[in-house]
C-alpha cells in the first residue's frame, strides 16, 4: 500500500476515471466488443463460400420437362426441380432457383442478368443442355483449385468492422462522454479546481488508446481463431494503423463535442458524421461500387482510409511505407480536427 498522503498524478487519475467509466458501462462494452463479434459471426456464416457452386435450377412443368430434368440431373453441380408455370416469378424473386428453364426447341431461360449467380446458372445450364442435345466439347481442361488466403468475404469483412468499431467507439467514448460531463456541469466543476486543461485532454487520449488495445485485440483474435481470418502484415503495422485511426476519430469526436450542450444534440451530430461513412467507406461492400464522380470524396473520408489501410495490413501484408497515403490522410484529419476542436472547445 502506497503512502496514503501521496496522490497519483492527475493525468493518471483522470485516465483511470475515464477508463473505469467506459468499462463499467454495459452498453459501451456491448457495442465495442459483442456487437462486432456478432456481426462477424452473422455475416461470416451468411456469406460463407458455397461448397463448390451448387446451382439451383427450376424447370417449368410441361411436355418436354422430364427430358430437360434428366439432362440437367447428369450435369455437375446443378440441383434441379420442377415448378408450375404460375410459380416462375416467385421462384426467381425468392432466389429458390438462379434460373428457370422453359422446355422447348430451343429452350427459353428466365433469369435476372444483373445477378452474377444467375449468369453463372445460365452458362452452366446452357452447356449441360447443349451437351445433352449432342454438342461435343473440344477439350476437357484440367482444374487446379487454389484457395487464396484472405479471399473470403469474412476475411474482407473483419478489417471493415474493425475500422467501423474504431470510429464508433472513438465517437461515443470521447465525444459523447465529454458532452455528458458538460451537461452535468462536471466539466465546470473540474475547471473550478487547479486541474490543467491539457491534463484533461491528454487523459482523454490515453484512456481512448487503452480501450483501443482491448477492442482491436478481442476482434482480431476472435476472427483469427474462429474464422481463420489472416493477419498477413506485422502486428506493429496493425497497431500503428489502429492508433492513427483512433486519433483521427478522437479528434473528430472532440470536434463534434466541442460545443454541444445536450446528449440529444451531440447524438444527432455524431450520426450525421458517421452514417455516410458506414455506407460509403467500404465496411460491408467495396466503396468502388459508387460512381467515379463521388470517389474523390469517398477516398478523402477518414473511415475509407482507415479500412483500406487495415485491409492492406491484414490481407495484403502491406508495410507502413506502402500505406503512407492512408496514414498521412488520417494524420491530417487528426491534426485538423484537434486544432479546430481545441480552439472552440467550451469548458463550461
Residues forming the site for other proteins (CB under 8 A): 4-5, 7-10, 12-14, 16-17, 20-21, 24-25, 181, 184-186, 188-189, 191-195, 348
CB of 348 to other proteins, least distance (A): 7
In contact, 288 and 298? CB cutoff 8 Å: no
Work out how close the CB of 4 gets to other proteins at its nearest, in angstroms, rounded to a whole number.
Answer: 5
Least distance (Å) between residue 175 CB and other proteins:
16
Q: Where do runs of H (alpha helix) occur along the chain?
A: 10-23, 26-29, 35-46, 65-73, 88-93, 116-132, 153-170, 177-183, 186-191, 197-227, 235-257, 263-280, 295-300, 302-311, 324-344
Residues in CB range of 51: below 8 A, 6 or more apart: none
Please choose, from the candidates 223, 180, 265, the residue with its C-alpha nearest in 3D space to the C-alpha of residue 33: 223
Closest to other proteins by CB, 89 or 185: 185
How far apart are CB 208 and other proteins at their closest, in Å? 17
Nearer to other proteins, 42 or 191 (CB): 191
Nearer to other proteins, 191 or 272 (CB): 191
Please report how close the Cβ of residue 191 comes to other proteins at its closest, in angstroms. Answer: 7
Please, are residues 73 and 80 in contact by the beta-carbon 8 Å criterion?
Answer: yes
- Choice between 115 and 189, CB closer to other proteins: 189
Q: How far is the CB of 269 from other proteins (least distance, A)?
A: 22
Instruction: State how far Cα 202 lies from the chain centre.
Output: 29
Per DSSP, the chain holds a count of helices (H) and strands (E) of: 15, 4
Residue 320's nearest CA partner among 247, 246, 241, 248 is: 241
Beta carbon of residue 259, minimum distance to other proteins (angstroms, whole number): 18
Of 14 and 216, which has the nearer Cβ to other proteins?
14
Rounded to whole angstroms, the Cα distance separating 188 from 9 reads 21
Reference 232, options 244, 217, 220; nearest CA is: 220
| CB nearer other proteins, residue 130 or residue 183 | 183
Nearest to 169 by CA among 261, 245, 90, 279: 245
DSSP state of 287: G
Look at residue 112 and give its three-state secondary structure: coil
Name the minimum Å distance from CB 219 to other proteins: 24
Nearer to other proteins, 114 or 193 (CB): 193
Q: If you ran DSSP here, which 8-state letter would residue 96 be given?
A: S
Nearer to other proteins, 80 or 187 (CB): 187
Smallest separation, CB 297 to other proteins (Å)? 39
Q: Closer CB to other proteins, residue 13 or residue 117?
A: 13
Cβ closest to other proteins, residue 197 vs residue 324: 197
Mention every residue, 6+ apart, whose C-beta is less than 8 A from residue 252: 170, 171, 273, 302, 333, 337
Distances (CA, A) of 304 to 61, 187, 245, 248, 295: 50, 33, 10, 12, 11
Report the nearest approach of other proteins to the CB of residue 12 (Å).
Answer: 7
Query: Which candidate, 244, 20, 290, 40, places its Cα nearest to that of 157?
Result: 40
Q: Which one-letter DSSP state was computed for residue 316?
A: I
Amino acid at each position: 500500500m502506497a503512502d496514503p498522503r501521496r496522490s497519483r498524478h492527475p493525468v493518471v487519475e483522470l485516465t483511470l476515471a475515464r477508463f473505469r467509466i467506459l468499462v463499467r458501462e454495459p452498453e459501451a462494452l456491448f457495442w465495442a466488443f459483442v456487437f462486432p463479434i456478432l456481426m462477424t459471426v452473422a455475416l461470416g456464416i451468411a456469406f460463407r463460400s458455397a461448397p463448390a457452386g451448387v446451382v439451383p435450377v427450376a424447370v417449368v412443368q410441361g411436355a418436354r420437362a422430364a427430358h430437360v430434368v434428366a439432362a440437367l440431373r447428369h450435369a455437375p453441380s446443378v440441383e434441379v426441380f420442377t415448378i408450375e408455370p404460375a410459380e416462375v416469378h416467385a421462384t426467381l424473386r425468392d432466389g429458390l432457383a438462379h434460373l428457370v428453364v422453359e422446355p422447348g426447341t430451343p429452350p427459353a431461360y428466365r433469369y435476372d442478368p444483373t445477378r452474377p449467380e444467375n449468369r453463372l446458372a445460365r452458362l452452366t445450364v446452357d452447356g449441360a443442355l447443349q451437351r445433352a442435345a449432342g454438342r461435343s466439347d473440344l477439350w476437357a481442361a484440367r482444374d487446379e483449385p487454389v484457395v487464396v488466403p484472405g479471399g473470403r468475404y469474412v476475411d474482407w469483412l473483419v478489417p471493415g468492422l474493425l475500422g467501423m468499431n474504431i470510429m464508433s467507439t472513438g465517437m461515443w467514448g470521447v465525444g459523447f462522454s465529454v458532452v455528458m460531463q458538460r451537461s452535468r456541469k462536471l466539466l465546470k466543476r473540474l475547471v473550478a479546481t487547479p486541474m490543467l486543461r491539457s491534463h484533461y485532454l491528454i487523459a482523454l487520449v490515453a484512456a481512448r488508446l487503452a480501450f483501443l488495445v482491448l477492442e482491436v485485440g478481442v476482434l482480431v483474435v476472435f476472427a483469427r481463431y474462429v474464422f481463420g481470418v489472416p493477419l498477413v502484415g506485422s502486428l506493429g503495422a496493425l497497431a500503428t494503423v489502429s492508433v492513427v485511426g483512433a486519433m483521427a476519430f478522437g479528434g473528430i469526436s472532440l470536434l463534434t463535442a466541442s460545443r454541444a450542450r445536450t446528449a440529444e444534440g451531440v447524438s444527432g451530430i455524431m450520426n450525421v458524421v458517421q452514417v455516410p461513412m458506414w455506407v460509403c467507406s467500404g465496411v460491408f461492400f467495396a466503396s468502388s461500387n459508387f460512381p467515379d464522380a463521388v470517389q474523390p470524396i469517398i477516398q478523402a473520408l477518414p473511415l475509407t482510409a482507415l479500412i483500406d489501410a487495415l485491409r492492406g495490413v491484414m490481407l495484403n501484408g502491406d508495410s507502413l511505407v506502402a500505406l503512407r497515403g492512408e496514414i498521412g490522410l488520417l494524420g491530417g484529419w487528426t491534426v485538423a480536427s484537434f486544432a479546430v476542436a481545441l480552439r472552440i472547445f467550451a469548458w463550461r
